[in-house]
Amino acid sequence: MSDIPPVCDYEGSDYQARFWQGQGREYEDRVERIALRRFMPPTGGTLIEIGAGFGRLADEYKGYDRVVLFDYSRSLLREAQAHLGDDPRYIYVAGNWYNMPFVDGLFDTMVQIRTLHHAADAPALFTELARIACPDGDYILEFANKHNLKAMARYWAKKQEWSPFEQEPIEFVELNFDFHPRWIEARLQESGFRTGDKLTVSHYRFAPLKKAFPTKFLVAMDRLAQKTGNLWQLSPSVFLHNKHPQTAVSPLSPAAFFACPSCKTALNDEENGRLHCPSPSCGHSWGVKDGLYDFKSHE
């Protein structure tokens, strides 16, 4: 397991209070929701949000029968539980996104917003997500764009060393990456995804502008500007609508859901607060406590 890339762990953090609550990010929240609604099918069977955190966007998934909120942080998922209550459609799963604990071809829709920037190995993540996507499934991806106007201006003014025009990702802080749109699209294609429409988002993420103009006005302007995404990607945030054209998925029982992160064998039903891998060569088990499926560690 030592070859698994490092994962950014928000366990025990005050991310919700420090970054969102009362922090002047209503504009960012609203324009991201606009972009998500433009790409996400409004209804469906099973949806997963990768890096769901405290469930900021969970209310957008009301049209789905089952919604998996997946994150590496147990504590953030507990915050989501407290916020969403006892709605049985929500399934809370803690685990490593490089070894997803789900059977092949499970998800009609996958959503990933504000988390890819923590991916030390984005191609490995895309490959794993392609495995759990159902045939013709939707993958709505947002990423931090290094090829943005602010980065260009700083580079030309010699205020930053790295070039926004080079396609390789830049790690500007440990486990925080910005990506070039062409690099992302190429890696998605290698993993089997087909990228369709693009949206540019958060054009006016600039403190003086947010102080000078009402949020409602900036949101309306961003709504219009988002549609330039198919022409160019110069904003700090980019949304991609991806499809996975796979046509063959290993036949499994309709009830199959969780799979062993190590060997991908479909797991047995919960027993005494644990899920057990039936494979004789594996035999790992994972805990289930108060509605949280914990795949961060095994016995």
pLDDT tens-place string over residues 91-117: 999 999 999 999 999 999 999 999 999
Asked whether residue 229 is assigned to any structural domain, the reply reads yes
Asked whether residue 6 is assigned to any structural domain, the reply reads no
| Res 245: pLDDT | 78
| Res 1: pLDDT | 43
Whether residue 294 is found in the same domain as residue 154:
no
In 3D space, the residue among 230, 266, 45 whose CA is nearest the CA of residue 135 turns out to be 45
Asked whether residue 274 is assigned to any structural domain, the reply reads yes
The token pair at 202 is 């958060």
Instruction: Tell me which residue range forms the domain holding 170.
Output: 15-250
Whether residue 26 is found in the same domain as residue 86:
yes
Whether residue 282 is found in the same domain as residue 244:
no
Whether residue 246 is found in the same domain as residue 261:
no
Asked whether residue 215 is assigned to any structural domain, the reply reads yes
| Res 4: pLDDT | 85
Q: Among the ranges 21-25, 56-60, 276-280, which has the highest mean pLDDT value?
A: 56-60
Cβ density class 256-270: b for 16+ within 10 Å, e for less: bbbbbbbebebbeee
Asked whether residue 9 is assigned to any structural domain, the reply reads no
Beta strands in 21-104 (DSSP E): 44-50, 64-71, 90-94
Whether residue 236 is found in the same domain as residue 276:
no
* 205 secondary structure, DSSP code: -
How far from 149 is each of 34, 82, 183, 236, CA to CA, in Å?
22, 39, 18, 8
Beta strands in the chain (DSSP E): 44-50, 64-71, 90-94, 107-112, 133-144, 170-173, 176-178, 194-201, 237-244, 274-276, 285-289, 292-294
Asked whether residue 226 is assigned to any structural domain, the reply reads yes
Mean pLDDT, to the nearest integer, of 184-213?
96
The CATH number given to whatever domain includes residue 117 is 3.40.50.150
Q: What is the distance between the alpha carbons of residues 45 and 130, in angstroms, rounded to a whole number?
A: 17
Mean pLDDT, to the nearest integer, of 11-15?
94
Whether residue 282 is found in the same domain as residue 172:
no
Is pLDDT above 60 for 252? no
Number of domains making up the chain: 2
